[in-house]
Amino acid sequence: MSRRALLAFDLGAESGRTILGELDGGKLEIRELSRFPNGMVNLLGHLYWDAARLFEEVKNGLAVCASEVTSEPESVGVDTWGVDFGVLAPDGSLLSLPYGYRDARTDGVMEEFFERVPRERVYELTGVQLMQINSLFQLFAMVRERSPLLPLVSDVLFMPDLLNYLLSGIKRNEFTVATTSQLYNPVKREWEGELFAALGISREVMQEIVPPGTVIGKLGEQIRLETGLKQVPLVATASHDTASAVAAAPAEGDGWAYISSGTWSLMGVESPEPIITARSLEHNFTNEGGIEGTFRVLTNIMGLWLLQQCREAWAAERDYSYQELSEMALGAPAFGALFEPDHPSFLRPPDMPEAIRSRCRETGETAPESPPEVVRCIFESLALKYRLVLDRLREIAKGPITRIHIIGGGARNEVLCQFAANATGVEVLAGPAEATAIGNLLVQALGLGHVSSLSEMREIIRESFSVTRYEPRETAEWEAAYERFRELHG
């Protein structure tokens, strides 16, 4: 295999990166070319994504690649978070900045929509966990508010689809991100007409759904002029960042679960078909698309958003690094306080440390006061939530689960990874930390025919990147803490 260059844009809720991948002899090397901050913008009381600035950052990454890399990339691929979308007018122009999923306009919207379609029916049709941030409920918020944009909407493009459109002029919805929307039926494998009818919105606003690895076109002429690149193919990679991350789990065989650990912790199993049962509804598991037609049966856990927001709240007094915070946590007493990480009060609080203290007081826990106590409280509560989800996965999934792969940025957090092993009682394998970019790159390679299968992708990852193993410790203490956590969880 000759050396092949590929370019990935990996956009997360906190930052975005341009990553060059070079595939050679069954090994992948990656290099960061640029990094830029991201975050929701508050305009007149609503939260939006600055799509124009993100597009400029992507073009800047292309220009950096053109100027600094000897070999022009064979393809480009973009991944982002799910559920959020942009809307286009009939002339192809962007009607508005895309709303951010933490915007308050969806408060209470699920209950109103369930008056049109019962919650059980929504889940039966989509297999997607019921969360107010889902695209279905974001669209219904526009319907409820009689948004003046609705009559003008010609096309709906999820965030990676929107960036692909701006790069190429081609409108497509990629499979993995489409399945996060709660607008897609994974059994029929098409947009669900019953839900669009309930919204009062034509299904024609959605695009053709293409599988991950589809070459959808080439960079547009204006992009080539601005960046200095030539007619590079644009691949609809595994456009949902979690799909790319899970594709990069260096797993072999069966019997494993994953945690894609970042702003959110996405915990689940890989399944050849969706799992849509009364039990999966009760535990609010979702079915999101993966590679080669697989499904990621998972649930969303609030994740390191809790720590990110605490760090931001403390920044005025001291700008802690994430490494400092993790080390400080080990100096705090074990199991001083526990809380449910997914309580709605943590979605967008003005002061995260106070929100955590307040929730602890409400449940009879001793509120953590100092930063070390708060951080330890976060890590222990997250690890115990992983245990709860693992128990529930074992109820609905086929076969045993004997190990967990932690992938993404959270794989670098040694304290949380060890706590996860302690709480779950199974081996944890952490890494690669750059799983999303790696998955993005190798799905591009799959689409170009340089890699033959998901199995070969994972073999390349095992040969190219190391993992850190964590064995369970102090299991008796963690088992006692789990019983206490389950009581708090209700």
Residue 224 in contact with residue 65, Cβ under 8 Å?
Answer: no
Strand pairing category for 286-289 and 295-301: antiparallel
Q: CA–CA separation, 480 vs 101, rounded Å?
A: 36
Average pLDDT over residues 370-392: 98
pLDDT per position as a tens digit, 290-330:
999 999 999 999 999 999 999 999 999 999 999 999 999 99
Residue in 77, 435, 445, 448 with CA at minimum distance from that of residue 244: 435
Residue in 370, 258, 392, 272 with CA at minimum distance from that of residue 325: 370
- Residue 411 is given by DSSP the state G
pLDDT per position as a tens digit, 325-365:
999 999 999 999 999 999 999 988 999 999 999 999 999 99
pLDDT per position as a tens digit, 154-209:
999 999 999 999 999 999 999 999 999 999 999 999 999 999 999 999 999 999 99
The yes-or-no verdict on residue 378 having pLDDT over 80 is yes
| Phi, then psi, of 70 in degrees rounded to 5 | -65, -50
Q: Which residue of the set 107, 241, 342, 351 is catalytic?
A: 241
What's the chain's Rg over C-alpha atoms?
A: 22
**Mean pLDDT value across the chain:** 97
- Residue 293 is given by DSSP the state G
Handedness of CA 408, 412, 416, 421 (dihedral sign): positive
In this predicted structure, what is the pLDDT of residue 489?
Answer: 75
In sequence order, what are the residues at sequence separation of 6 or more whose Cβ sits closer than 8 angstroms to the Cβ of residue 58? 9, 16, 18, 78, 163, 167
In sequence order, what are the residues at sequence separation of 6 or more whose Cβ sits closer than 8 angstroms to the Cβ of residue 456? none
Residue 398: half-sphere exposure toward Cβ, Cα within 13 Å? 7
Residue 317 buriedness (CB in 10 A; 0-12 / 13-18 / 19+): exposed
The yes-or-no verdict on residue 24 having pLDDT over 60 is yes
H/E stretch holding 406 reads strand 403-407
In this predicted structure, what is the pLDDT of residue 142?
Answer: 98
Residue in 424, 334, 428, 342 with CA at minimum distance from that of residue 375: 334
In sequence order, what are the residues at sequence separation of 6 or more whose Cβ sits closer than 8 angstroms to the Cβ of residue 279? 395, 396
The model's confidence at residue 427, banded by pLDDT at 50, 70 and 90, is: very high
Residue in 390, 420, 385, 418 with CA at minimum distance from that of residue 402: 390
The yes-or-no verdict on residue 490 having pLDDT over 90 is no
Q: Cα 214 to chain center, whole Å?
A: 20
Q: Following DSSP, what letter does each residue of 72-124 receive, concatenated? A: PPS-EEEEB-SS-EEEE-TTS-B-SPPBPTT-GGGTTHHHHHTTTS-HHHHHH
Residue with tokens 């649930």: 299
Region label for 412, one of left (φ > 0), alpha (ψ between -120 and 50) or beta (otherwise): alpha
pTM: 0.94
In this predicted structure, what is the pLDDT of residue 488?
Answer: 84
Q: Following DSSP, what letter does each residue of 317-348 receive, concatenated? A: T----HHHHHHHHTTSPTTS----TT-GGGSS
The model's confidence at residue 398, banded by pLDDT at 50, 70 and 90, is: confident
pLDDT per position as a tens digit, 42-97:
999 999 999 999 999 999 999 999 999 998 999 999 999 999 999 999 999 999 99
Q: CA–CA separation, 355 vs 144, rounded Å?
A: 30
The model's confidence at residue 468, banded by pLDDT at 50, 70 and 90, is: very high
Q: Cα 369 to chain center, whole Å?
A: 31
In this predicted structure, what is the pLDDT of residue 2?
Answer: 73
The yes-or-no verdict on residue 401 having pLDDT over 80 is yes
Q: CA–CA separation, 140 vs 136, rounded Å?
A: 6
User: 241 an active-site residue?
Assistant: yes
In this predicted structure, what is the pLDDT of residue 340?
Answer: 96
- Coil, strand or helix at 432: coil
Domains in the chain (CATH in brackets) are: 4-241 (3.30.420.40), 249-431+452-490 (3.30.420.40)
- List strand residue ranges (DSSP E) for 182-312, in order: 184-185, 190-191, 209-210, 214-218, 233-236, 256-261, 265-271, 286-289, 295-301
Instruction: Dig out the tokens for 363 from the structure.
Output: 């449940």
Q: What is the share, in percent, of the chain residues with pLDDT greater than 70? A: 100
